[in-house]
Structure 1
């Protein structure tokens, strides 16, 4: 079992008096799950209190920012609310054919079983010059609707899969995963859209730029590990 001391030693990307940035392993939750792969819990069990400034999904690896002091937490979370934080993800889809650059402007809502979905029928989605959107009159306003924007740049295509650099302009729950799936380019190994996936999910929080409690603008990067890189390599080798 991984201890908090092990996690800190191996996964710390940046630290100052008020903030801690970790490279979260895939399969770990940021908080809210009462078991030994919950980062906030194992830290607390070892005597360290952390406040997440944001979250990434359990199936996603990479950069996560925590406040070490409650006084720092408010400022860090406000940066996400005001969208002054720059976020960059790496994503591997199980498809090809995406343009070199794209912008997905599809509103989100929550459907049955608390599942995040596009707040419009799939057939209403249009794609024009790399922009995916839906007409305003197609949006289902019977539930709360959350305007959501994701942009991407294509990095590489390899034997039926595509590596993207993705920027969630807004930060909705499951945004990248749902946006890509609903335009027909779901992530490899995503349990939201693939029953019994045989690989990890192809999403990695690669880079975060934020104003640290010490007053400096910081850029923190977590390079993807071999398991993530294998999503493309294995496709190329046919394994």
Structure 2
């Protein structure tokens, strides 16, 4: 594992006395005792105390924000709890056929082995125009979590689609499960593809906007070549930059 000081310097997006924002590589956890190591632990072992403001999955790359003090942490996390933080992800599905814009409004629940799933039978999911929903009568009799993901299609070829996804709620695995259960799994997502053929999941935490102690924070993290690998032959560097600049 790369030393904390080197990783921090290589992935730094922004910092001040109250926050630290990094462009996390895929394959590194933010925090959690189930993992061999994580960013919070690496920082602590090097003498730096960090408090995660939000979470992204180990398989997801991109923007992650830490507070450097507990007072700053409280103010930032409240914005996520109240859903006033503006979040955007880049995602590459292993499918085509998605509309220019769409909304996936499907409740989530936790099934066997702690796996996140849609809180309804798959066959009860229906699409009306560009919105995916389930009838309330079909929702499982279990604890459920209302969940909404909005997306914009940025580009597609015969095999893949590039999306900008905005989770209006912040549930665990939300984007991954919403897309997979509507028939559009992310390229390389191990939740839905156990082949092990792909080195990483094509999901990247791209933009984050919220209010910090010293003013507005409008942050972005550029995806690396490993994110673009599934479409690298079809989508050149200049076209990628143009697409992202268009939003």
Structure 1 and Structure 2 fold alike (TM over 0.5): yes
User: 1:198-223 deviations in whole A, cap 9, x for unaligned?
Assistant: 22101000111111121x11111111
Q: Name stretches of at least 5 consecutive residues in structure 2 with no aligned partner.
A: 237-247
Aligned-partner SS, 2:175: helix
Question: Which residue does the alignment assign to 1:132?
Answer: 132
How far apart are residue 236 of structure 1 and its match? Answer: 7.4
Q: Distance in 2 between matches of 1:130 and 1:124?
A: 16
User: 1:30-56 deviations in whole A, cap 9, x for unaligned?
Assistant: 001466641000000001110101100
1:68 to 2:68 alignment = yes
Residues 24-39 of structure 1 aligned to structure 2 (within 5 Å) = 24-33=24-33, 37-39=37-39
Maintained 8 Å contact 1:50/1:68: yes
How far apart are residue 234 of structure 1 and its match? Answer: 4.6
Q: Name stretches of at least 5 consecutive residues in structure 1 with no aligned partner.
A: none
User: How many residues are matched?
Assistant: 235
Q: Distance in 2 between matches of 1:178 and 1:31?
A: 21
Aligned-partner SS, 1:49: coil
Question: Which residue does the alignment assign to 1:7?
Answer: 7
CA, structure 1 residues 186+235, in 2 after alignment: closer, same or farther (shift >3 Å)? farther
**Structural RMSD (CA):** 1.5
How far apart are residue 159 of structure 1 and its match? Answer: 2.9
Maintained 8 Å contact 2:24/2:62: yes
Maintained 8 Å contact 2:29/2:35: no
Question: Which residue does the alignment assign to 1:224?
Answer: 223
TM-score normalised by structure 2 residue count: 0.92
Maintained 8 Å contact 2:88/2:166: yes
Q: Which runs of 4+ in 1 moved over 6 A?
A: none
1:89 to 2:57 alignment = no
Question: Which residue does the alignment assign to 2:187?
Answer: 188
CA, structure 1 residues 234+59, in 2 after alignment: closer, same or farther (shift >3 Å)? farther
